[in-house]
Structure 1
Amino acid sequence: MIPTDTPWSGLEAGKVDTRRVLASARWNWFWAVMPRVDVAFVLQLADLPKPTPDLPMLRNLEIRFQTLPGGPILYIRLKDSAQLELFETLCRDVMAAGELAETEAEALERAIGRTFRWHYLLRGGKLEVLSEETQKGLIGEIEVLKLLIPTLGAKTTLTAWTGPSGAPKDFELKADCIEVKARRGASQPFVKITNEFQLADVPDRRLWLAVLAVDKVQPPHGRTLPEYVSEVTELLEQTEPSAIMDWDLHLADAGFDILHDYSTWRWIVSSPDFYAVTKDFPRIAAPVPLGLSSVSYALALSACAPFRTDWGAVREKLKEAEHP
């Protein structure tokens, strides 16, 4: 039984019945009831995308493409009626994201991207803004992304960006790994290594350490985290728009949401310094003695000086490996 105070009230059960969400909407959004009396949210499409994009998998939702007599659709079906209020919020948020699009393809991309963000939140993601330390770390990784995208391409770079997923290294490429560390410029010349795996060797791959100074400043100086994010978004829009969804998914995994208010934090960031983590590099690396784990330590940058290299040399190594 569908409650009367929901957008689905009055729709006929036992068949696919729909009602347009908003007559003035740019795209074709519908409230729907599926044959099993499940409520759903539908985006009607002129054409199915090729290739068909990946769709999130949620415990209480079914998200699918389907071709009906009236044309193809993307639908989101609620499988747990107890979550009806939350589902309505999700649907309206997905529609709000899609309505910002200039084309149907972009509307679909935004709708799926927003659903992936809900996927992140519903599996235990955080609703609050990122902490200062997490913002610093994300800005550091974004600065390295900005170097890698023109060198390797957006798709390759975003596939390699494993930091948001909690992997031991921030970037894992075909023949190289990069660990990124953000530090305060005025602090003691050390970086914190948070576990024994961050600087551990990876078989058949070179390892690089990238160190950046990320400092909090007062307005009007510096930029907010959303401004650093927007810079990469604009770069992708100009060079590789098909990678924007991957970018959004990585940001969601990192806990970033553009709707959060980051206006009270402004940051300036240095260009990264690169170090080749080779055999004699100062580090505590896995395997550590039996019984020890989660080993963190401060690494003096002065001890790393003999291993310092420049971005140009690193870039050539990366290009050779990815495009032999």
Structure 2
Amino acid sequence: MIPTDTPWSGLEAGKTDTRRVGAAARWNWFWAVMPRADVCLLLQLTDLPKPVPDLPKLKNLEIRFQTLPGGPILYIRLKDNAQMELFETLCRDVMAAGELAETEAEALERAIGRTFRWHYLLRGGKLEVLSEEAQKGLIGEIEVLKLLIANLGPKPALTAWTGPSGAPKDFELKADCIEVKARRGASQPFVKITNEHQLADVPDRRLWLAVLAVDKVQQPHGKTLTEHVAEVTDLLERTEPSTIMDWDLHLADVGYDCLHDYSAWRWIVSAPVFHTISEGFPRISAPVPLGVSTVSYSLALSACAPFRTDWADVQANLIEEVQP
């Protein structure tokens, strides 16, 4: 029995029955009830995307494309009607994300991206704001990401950003890897290396260490983490909107949610200082002795000075990656 205080009330069970969400909606959203009385959200499409994108897999939801006589749709179906209140919240959030789009293709990308974010949260993602240390680390990686976007383009840069997924290096390209460390500018001149794999050599790839100063400041100085994120979002929307979903998924993987309030923290960030990780660089790297693992240590930046280089050197190598 469908409760009367839901958007699905009044729809007939036993067949697929639909009701348009609202005349003011930019895109063709429908509340629907499937033959087994399962409630759904539908997005009617003009064409199926090519290639068909991956869709999140959730225990109590079915998310699929389907071609009907009236055309293709994306539908999100709730398998357990006991979760209808939460499902309505999810549906409205997905629609709100899609309604910001200027094209149907972008609306679909945004809807799928927002569903992936729910996928992340419902599988145990962080519901609280990021700690100060986590904010600093994310801001540092975003600064390097912006450099890569400017030189490689949004899609290759986001593909290279592997740190959020738990990879050993923050950025992994075809012939280069970059590890990013954010530190407080006024602190002792050290950076924390959290395991033996972060500065370990990768066969057939150059390895760079990028160090940035990220400092907390008072208003009106600096920017919040939300503002740092918004800058990249705006850049992607202007240059390559199809990458928004990848961007959202990376942010979800590090525990960032745009609904969290980061107004209590404002940050200024320096330009990254790059170092070449090569023979003689001070480090503890894999393989370590048998039985030893997760080796963390402080690395003195003074000892790294002989290996310091500039962005132009790194950039010259990265440009080779995209040349035919």
TM-score past 0.5 threshold: yes
Tell me by how many angstroms 1:82 deviates: 2.6
* 1:241-260, Cα deviation, whole Å (9 max, x unpaired): 22122111111111111121
Structure 2 counterparts to residues 144-163 of structure 1, below 5 A? 144-163=144-163
Residue type of the partner of 1:264?
A: A
The corresponding residue for 2:29 is 29
- SS across alignment from 2:167: coil
Q: CA deviation at 1:234?
A: 2.0
In the alignment, is residue 281 of structure 1 matched against residue 281 of structure 2? Answer: yes
3-state SS of paired residue (1:93):
helix
1:35 and 1:134 mapped to 2: Cα distance?
A: 46
Report how far residue 206 of structure 1 moved. Answer: 1.1
Shift in Å, 1:16: 0.9
Amino acid across the alignment from 1:166: G
Is 2:154–2:236's contact at 8 Å kept on the other side of the alignment?
yes
Q: 1:297 is matched by which residue type in structure 2?
A: Y
Tell me how far apart the structure 2 counterparts of residues 180 and 63 of structure 1 sit (CA, whole Å).
36
- Deviation, 1:46, is 2.4
Question: Does 2:254 align with 1:290?
Answer: no
Q: SS of 2:125's equivalent?
A: coil
Give the root-mean-square deviation of aligned CA atoms: 1.4
Alignment of 1:85-104 (within 5 A): 85-104=85-104
In structure 2, the partner of 1:306 is: 306
Where does residue 224 of structure 1 map in the other structure? Answer: 224
User: Match of 1:18, SS?
Assistant: strand
Runs (5+) with no aligned partner, structure 2: none
**Cα distance in 2 for residues equivalent to 1:55 and 1:103:** 20
Kindly report which structure 2 residues correspond to 1:73-222, keeping only aligned pairs within 5 A, or say none.
73-222=73-222
Offset at residue 49 of structure 1 (A):
2.3
Contact 2:15 2:33 in 1 (8 A): yes
C-alpha deviation, 1:5, in angstroms: 3.1
Supply the distance in 1 between the matched residues of 2:188 and 2:201 (Cα, whole angstroms). Answer: 27
Aligned length: 324
Q: How does 1:232-247 map onto structure 2 within 5 Å?
A: 232-247=232-247
Q: Which runs of 5+ in 1 are unaligned?
A: none
Separation in 1, partners of 2:149, 2:38: 43
Instruction: Return the letter of the residue paired with 1:305.
Output: A
Q: 2:258 matched to 1:261?
A: no
Post-superposition offset of 1:102: 2.6
Distance 2:258 2:171 in 1: 23
Cα distance per residue 1:29-73 (max 9 Å; x no partner): 111111222111111122222332221111211111112122221
Residue of structure 2 equivalent to 1:67: 67
What is the rounded CA distance, in whole Å, between the counterparts of 1:293 and 1:300 in structure 2? 21
Normalising by structure 2, we get a TM-score of: 0.96
Counterpart AA for 1:180: V
Local SS of the residue matching 2:118: helix
The structural deviation recorded for 1:86 is: 1.3
Which amino acid counterpart does residue 32 of structure 1 have in structure 2?
A: A
Indicate the larger mover: 209-218 or 314-323.
Answer: 314-323
